Amino acid sequence: MSSPQEDFNLHNIAKAQFDKAVPFTTKLEGWRGLAEWLFQPERIIKVTLPVEMDDGYVHTFTGFRVLHDTSRGPGKGGFRFHPSVAEDEVKALATWMTWKCALVDVPFGGAKGGVRCDPTTISWREKRRITRRYIAALGDNIGPHTDIPAPDLYTDAQTMAWVYDTYSMLHPGKNNLAVVTGKPLDLGGSEGREAATASGLLLVIEHMIAVGALPPLNGLSGVTVAIQGFGNVGGHCARLFHNAGAVVVAVSDRHGGVYDPNGLDVTRLGAHLAETGSVVHFPGTESLAVGEVLEAPCDLLVPAAIETQITAENAPRIQAAVVVEGANGPTTPGADEILRDRGITVVPDILANTGGVVVSYFEWVQNLANKSWPAAEVGRLLEEKMRCATDVVLATRAGLLDGFARYQEAWTAVRENDPPLPPPTLRTAAHVAALERCRRATESRGIWP
């Protein structure tokens, strides 16, 4: 799938995206050093975890928690169970969390964590022991006002309940609910959190269509959608796009995919997944190999599985008019350029998948106030946040395009031997808007001491 010259290191990808944005920030020359500080993570924790497996064998796992930036508030970000978990991956994911929190204007910085393991082969009880040992090992490096975890790949509300319980056992006598978000409703979770990432993604797309920012789409009725990943983000996206009048023609999971040009019955597909453990072999559909879903004929493509799936190798074959990033980092910088040159709009992860952190913020506020808000209130506030963030990105890009000649001139003056500045994409605009917010917060606080 990869192209030999492409760099798939996620932290290098995050840096390449950041570097594209820096020349478009207002103080290119004045704050070079500050830009370096804003990119580097503040803290990297690596833990080694002995965990007794069901057969009595003691397996040693490696876990990470990275706190990227706290200029706007405590760290916030999910943790995952996946074989690819590594320091650079977690650093990149924490960095993107900083930009996301800034973009949707919630008072958090970025953080992320993970334990390297194969979640498809470990039992429920083993998962619980890994979670408990990981959270205990992190100790007071997480907390309601320091760093607040949430679900991500192969972690869910149940995992978050174990996080809360572990932390609470170690910190008795306090209201500890705000230490983690994405919890079950019975344990301080928020209405709307489970589907929040997909709900937010749909709200971004609906708003962009409404303001004419996603030509050729002028509504969702009859729009064909292909989705890679059928977990929390992908599964809810399929249901919500279907309910909004779109036609979900292809979906996939880690085993493979299914395609039906007339549209998949999303509810029956969910039942098939629950019964068989996969979407593959859903009756009446054409089978797709893993990865083929990305190239399926459709108007709108939602990568909602893992990183670096749309690459310089397969980007030329993408048929969608719009790519909406449900996953974090699904598109490589090489693919970004190809899609841009082909006129395919990419709605970037740091805008499109922020619904989860927005409702996590609502959950945190409810927990601190010992209150619970009705679903309608959560939905209304989410819509407000997603629309506002989308408007900020669109306005930022319009401003950058207006002043493009000026930015180019400033760039050429200091980088005369470098390639010319490329025109800003939505990803670059989203980074610029987020970076400016972090810069302003850092500058108002002043550099300690």
> Interface with ligand NAD includes 108 (CB under 6 A)?
no
DSSP result, 161-211: HHHHHHHHHHSTTS--GGG-SS--GGGTPPTT-TTHHHHHHHHHHHHHHHT
**Residue with smaller CB distance to ligand NAD, 112 or 439:** 112
Which run of H or E residues covers position 441? helix 426-445
The only residue of 64, 154, 164, 167 in contact with ligand NAD, by rule CB under 6 A? 154
Q: Segment 362-381, which members bind ligand NAD (CB under 6 A)?
A: none
**Residue with smaller CB distance to ligand NAD, 327 or 435:** 327
Scanning the structure block, which residue is given the tokens 């306005």? 395
DSSP result, 236-258: HHHHHHHHTT-EEEEEEETTEEE
The burial class, CB within 10 Å (0-12 / 13-18 / 19+), for 424 is buried
Q: Segment 74-103, which members bind ligand NAD (CB under 6 A)?
A: none
CB 25 within 8 A of CB 436: yes
The only residue of 306, 365, 381, 441 in contact with ligand NAD, by rule CB under 6 A? 306
The only residue of 107, 143, 184, 231 in contact with ligand NAD, by rule CB under 6 A? 231
* C-alpha–C-alpha distance, residues 232 and 235, integer Å: 6
Can the peptide bond before residue 215 be classed as cis, meaning omega within 30 degrees of 0?
no
> Interface with ligand NAD includes 191 (CB under 6 A)?
no
Q: Which of 357, 64, 347 has the alpha carbon at shortest distance from 205?
A: 347
**β 224-228/247-253 pair status:** parallel
The only residue of 230, 259, 362, 373 in contact with ligand NAD, by rule CB under 6 A? 230
**β 224-228/286-288 pair status:** unpaired
We find the least distance from the C-beta atom of residue 119 to ligand NAD, in angstroms, to be: 8
> Interface with ligand NAD includes 49 (CB under 6 A)?
no
We find the least distance from the C-beta atom of residue 71 to ligand NAD, in angstroms, to be: 21
We find the least distance from the C-beta atom of residue 157 to ligand NAD, in angstroms, to be: 10
> Interface with ligand NAD includes 200 (CB under 6 A)?
no
CB 82 within 8 A of CB 151: no
The only residue of 144, 192, 326, 333 in contact with ligand NAD, by rule CB under 6 A? 326
> Interface with ligand NAD includes 17 (CB under 6 A)?
no
> Interface with ligand NAD includes 159 (CB under 6 A)?
no
Give me the residue whose beta carbon is nearest to ligand NAD: 231
Instruction: Decide: helix, strand or coil at residue 351.
Output: helix
| List 91, 112, 127, 183, catalytic entry | 112
Instruction: Decide: helix, strand or coil at residue 332.
Output: coil
**β 247-253/256-259 pair status:** antiparallel
Stretch that binds ligand NAD, among 122-130, 251-259, 263-271, 388-396 (CB under 6 A): 251-259
* C-alpha–C-alpha distance, residues 179 and 209, integer Å: 37
> Interface with ligand NAD includes 252 (CB under 6 A)?
yes
* C-alpha–C-alpha distance, residues 327 and 339, integer Å: 17
Tell me if residue 183 is catalytic.
no
> Interface with ligand NAD includes 436 (CB under 6 A)?
no
> Interface with ligand NAD includes 322 (CB under 6 A)?
no
* C-alpha–C-alpha distance, residues 435 and 379, integer Å: 27
**Residue with smaller CB distance to ligand NAD, 24 or 362:** 362
> Interface with ligand NAD includes 254 (CB under 6 A)?
yes
> Interface with ligand NAD includes 197 (CB under 6 A)?
yes
CB 1 within 8 A of CB 313: yes
CB 131 within 8 A of CB 159: yes
> Interface with ligand NAD includes 327 (CB under 6 A)?
yes
Size of the site for ligand NAD (CB under 6 A): 24
**Residue with smaller CB distance to ligand NAD, 253 or 336:** 253
**Residue with smaller CB distance to ligand NAD, 246 or 327:** 327
The only residue of 232, 285, 331, 390 in contact with ligand NAD, by rule CB under 6 A? 232
Q: What residues make contact with ligand NAD under the rule CB under 6 A?
A: 151-154, 197, 228-234, 252-254, 290, 304-306, 326-328, 353, 356
List, by residue number, the catalytic residues.
112
